[in-house]
Amino acid sequence: MSDIQSLVSQTNRQYIKFGGGTFGMLSLDFGELSQKEINALLSGDEGLKLLYDVATASEKYLYEASETALVRKESGARFMISMIFDSNGVVDTSLNGKDSNGGYTFKPGGSYDGHLIISSEGSCQEVDANGSLISKSRSSMVFHELAENYERTTNGIDYHGQNGQPGAHDIAVSRENRWSNRSLIPGGIATYNNPNNYRNRYMILNIIKSQYDSTGFNF
């Protein structure tokens, strides 16, 4: 939930509401504000606009900060990805627009149309103008991946653009360029590091994996 709140300016966080249940259901509550006032808020805060787009879409979304991505293979079989072994600590899945491999390498878990998981323990770096590695804000990772997932899931746009049209990745980069908290290189990372110790976590991750892949969890 702090990841979601981090997308929005401090003063606009009052409009974000999370419901109960296993996962907090996101909604935006603008109280007595008129649509004109709401539109003014949205146009002044690209992060709030992104949450508004996702919260008002008819598709079903799930965002998780986790070390386990409980998703499905293209065939539909349940498959757990351990974020320790992932290349960038992000698993961004959609039933609609295609992924960066031009297909559906992984599909959402449960009954979601869009399912985004970002490693809870990992962190990323980007390169600054001098070529030095600097840490990339978690907030910008969440912004980019959520914007990309929205374009794929609700607008049906593939990751890669075609015939001169921008793809979901390009649109997410453009959106981040309009965002007050933008990173130096929207949509780009240089390194991903996960401090989780393989030896300590291997057993428990394997138990979760065998349980999920064989019988699944309800979510």
Binding site for Zn ion (CB under 5 A): 148, 169, 187
Measured between alpha carbons, how far is 107 from 115 in angstroms, rounded to an integer? 8
Whole-number minimum distance, CB 97 to Zn ion, in Å? Answer: 12
Nearer to Zn ion, 9 or 88 (CB): 88
Whole-number minimum distance, CB 100 to Zn ion, in Å? Answer: 7
Q: Specify whether the backbone of 3 is left (phi greater than 0), alpha (psi in -120 to 50) or beta.
A: alpha
Whole-number minimum distance, CB 163 to Zn ion, in Å? Answer: 19
Measured between alpha carbons, how far is 50 from 147 in angstroms, rounded to an integer? 7
Nearer to Zn ion, 113 or 148 (CB): 148
Nearer to Zn ion, 109 or 187 (CB): 187
Nearer to Zn ion, 46 or 148 (CB): 148
Residue with smallest beta-carbon separation from Zn ion: 169
The answer to whether the CB of 120 falls within 8 A of the CB of 66 is yes
Report the SS3 class of residue 40. Answer: helix
Measured between alpha carbons, how far is 36 from 48 in angstroms, rounded to an integer? 15
Whole-number minimum distance, CB 92 to Zn ion, in Å? Answer: 8
